[in-house]
């Protein structure tokens, strides 16, 4: 990892120096530590002094108030800060940062994560729970919720299609396989439902734009 260009000394200085006169908005996709490194360099170059630059960071994880400081400081530095007077000019940096992140899950989501931990210890997974986690709950990634929602949506659409198919012909193994493997019909059925309430208790609109994932697109040359 240390051999990557982004880990080398002077990397962010070179990037910012070469782009600062051509843009005022930076969209950052990566881990929070790298974000902090880039913004530290921008701060050192006085780019936040007049509020002329904006950094947009896309976080793939859900928002956590407890971990929200990771957008402005490295974790190893936060542990050494005793009071707000030691945080430097973080206000100017904070005003120039926009974080796109999913809302924090509702309290009921804890019931779902508890079931994930329990099912992970059962067949066919059989993931052993380390003794350490008897005192602390094991972290469940947000991707567990995404996977649950995906499977539930697929199962709901397949059930609806099979019930409709049953009106015209017997549900043989071949028919079930034909319907279950028709991704276009599955997605169209899901979209016709218009909205979906996820396990995160969020109401998601379902758009026909999702069908773009099923279309073959010629590569741009």
* Residue listed under structure tokens 């989501």: 109
Share of the chain above pLDDT 90, in %: 48
Model pLDDT, residue 28: 96
pTM, full prediction: 0.59
**CB contact at 8 A, 63 and 57:** no
How far is Cα 118 from Cα 127, in angstroms, rounded to an integer?
10
Kindly state the average pLDDT of the residues 78-98.
75
Model pLDDT, residue 209: 59
Model pLDDT, residue 29: 94
Model pLDDT, residue 143: 87
At 157-208, the pLDDT tens digits run 999 999 999 999 999 999 999 999 999 999 999 988 878 888 877 777 776 6
* Fold designation for 5-102: Rossmann fold (3.40.50)
Structure tokens at 198: 């996820």
Write down the domain spans for the chain.
5-102, 106-140, 143-214
Give the single-character DSSP code of 24: S
């Amino acid at each position: 990892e240390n051999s990557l260009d982004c880990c080398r000394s002077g990397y962010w200085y070179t990037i910012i120096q070469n782009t600062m006169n051509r843009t005022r908005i930076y969209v950052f996709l990566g881990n929070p530590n790298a974000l902090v490194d880039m913004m530290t360099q921008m701060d050192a170059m006085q780019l936040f002094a007049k509020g002329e630059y904006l950094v947009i960071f896309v976080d793939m994880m859900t928002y956590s108030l407890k971990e929200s400081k990771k957008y402005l400081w490295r974790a190893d530095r936060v542990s050494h800060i005793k009071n707000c007077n030691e945080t430097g000019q973080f206000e100017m940096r904070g005003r120039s940062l926009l974080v796109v992140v999913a809302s924090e899950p509702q309290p009921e989501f804890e019931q779902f994560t508890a079931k994930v931990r329990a099912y992970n210890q059962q067949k066919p997974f059989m993931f052993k729970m380390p003794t350490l986690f008897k005192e602390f709950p094991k972290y469940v990634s947000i991707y567990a919720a995404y996977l649950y929602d995906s499977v539930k949506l697929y199962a709901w659409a397949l059930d609806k299609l099979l019930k409709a198919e049953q009106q015209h012909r017997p549900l043989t193994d071949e028919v079930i396989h034909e319907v279950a493997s028709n991704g276009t019909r599955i997605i169209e059925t899901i979209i016709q439902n218009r909205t979906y309430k996820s396990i995160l208790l969020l109401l998601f609109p379902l758009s026909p734009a999702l069908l773009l994932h099923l279309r073959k697109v010629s590569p741009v040359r």
